[in-house]
Amino acid sequence: MKIFITGGTGNIGQYVTKTLLEAGHEIVAYTRTPERIPQLGNQKNITLVKGNILDLEIMEKALYGCDAVIHIALGWGNTPVEMLDHDTRVTVFLLEKAEQAGVKNFIYTSSTAVFGRNQDGADETTFCTPDDLYGSTKAATEKYLTGFRQYYTGQGVRGAAVKIRRNIIRPGYTFSNPAFEGGASQSDTRFRDIARSVLKGENLVISEYDGTQFISSAQIAQVYLKLVESDLDEEIFLALGEPFTSWADIARMAIELVPGTSSRVVPPEGEVRRTPAHVRVDKLKRVLGLSFDAAAELREHVRWNIGREQRVLRGEKVHDVYHVW
């Protein structure tokens, strides 16, 4: 299968690209920075196309001849109109051009942010109540994808039905060591900051109840692989790990990995005990046969951040892994 991927060198995209190549697929990876990962361009069955997701004509040309589109790249904006224009509009454009080009399958990368604060016990059927522009943009784009079943020939007059299958993945917190030299990690710097504090012997003021159901980029890549090879249509999958892990747990991992540090985890003053939100991932296991526990990957990611920060503190130059919009 020939698959067009946006954001193919980012935090999630690098592992999706790697996993699909290993599964024997041909990849057209659309990225702002193909030069970051020379090793990726040397892989068999891959074409790197340089471009920003606002370069609509370049994207449209690159997806022709592909069997599937996996849209991972994020388009950011600081205002409602910018968010709509840079993310939702781009995705809808890409979807329509994929339909016109005869692409059979379109997978959109949404987010658990569509739930807003209403996450405890949430599953794919939970009503979306986003409480920020990012979640609102993702929720709006989801509605365009599921609603794009036909064209119109006039006001209120239904036209030709679309043939493209449209599916949605909602990742939770997804982390990664770079899959290739020069690759990305997640843009959030909390792992880095914890590693740096522990190396300096500083205490970490972190709540026991602040955390999430972490999933690694290598794990979530399995969801994309299963879905792109399936005949499913108009399905939504929450992609998170099963267990909840707190940031305090992450900090304790770092302390264990730095012998002799004087750091310790300190709860915030006045912290009130509460039950952490837990999102249900039953459908992932029931339909795709997948379930994830990222404990081993989290420990390795903490170890990797510690090693990186040790080099930084020695004054060595390190590769910038934070690829942001």
- Element of type H or E holding 174: strand 174-175
Q: What per-residue confidence (pLDDT) applies to 192?
A: 97
Average pLDDT, the chain: 94
| pLDDT over 90 (residue 64) | yes
List, for residues 75-90, the tens digit of each pLDDT value.
999 999 999 999 999 9
Amino acid symbol at 314: R
DSSP character for 10? S
| pLDDT over 70 (residue 167) | yes
The C-alpha atoms of residue 56 and residue 96 are separated, in whole angstroms, by 12
Residues 6+ apart with CB under 8 A from 98: 4, 63, 66, 69, 106, 164
What confidence category does residue 118 fall into, taking pLDDT thresholds of 50, 70 and 90?
Answer: confident
Q: Checking DSSP bridges between strand 165-171 and strand 105-109, what pairing results, if any?
A: parallel
Q: What per-residue confidence (pLDDT) applies to 117?
A: 83
Give the 3-state DSSP-derived string for 43-78, with helices as H, strands as E and coil as C: CCCEEEEECCCCCHHHHHHHHCCCCEEEECCCCCCC
106 and 167 Cβ atoms separated by less than 8 Å: yes
Mean of the pLDDT values across residues 121-147?
Answer: 95
Residues 6+ apart with CB under 8 A from 162: 99, 148, 149, 150, 151
- Is residue 44 packed enough to be buried (19+ CB in 10 Å), middle (13-18) or exposed (0-12)? exposed
| pLDDT over 90 (residue 289) | yes
Q: What per-residue confidence (pLDDT) applies to 121?
A: 92
What confidence category does residue 305 fall into, taking pLDDT thresholds of 50, 70 and 90?
Answer: very high
CATH topology identical between 2-172+216-239 and 176-215+242-271+293-313: no
| pLDDT over 90 (residue 40) | no
Mean of the pLDDT values across residues 103-119?
Answer: 94
**Domain layout of the chain by residue ranges:** 2-172+216-239, 176-215+242-271+293-313
List, for residues 238-261, the tens digit of each pLDDT value.
999 999 999 999 999 999 999 999
Mean of the pLDDT values across residues 141-147?
Answer: 96
- For helices 133-147 and 89-100, give the axis angle rounded to 10 degrees: 20
124 and 238 Cβ atoms separated by less than 8 Å: yes
Q: Which CATH superfamily groups domain 2-172+216-239?
A: NAD(P)-binding Rossmann-like Domain (3.40.50.720)
| pLDDT over 70 (residue 325) | no
Class of domain 176-215+242-271+293-313: alpha beta
Q: What per-residue confidence (pLDDT) applies to 223?
A: 98
186 or 39, greater pLDDT: 186
DSSP letter string over 177-217?
--SSTT--B-S--HHHHHHHHHHHT--EE--SS-EE--EEH
How many residues are recorded in the chain? Answer: 325
44 or 297, greater pLDDT: 297
Alpha helices in the chain (DSSP H): 13-22, 38-41, 56-63, 80-83, 89-100, 133-147, 190-200, 217-228, 247-257, 282-288, 295-313
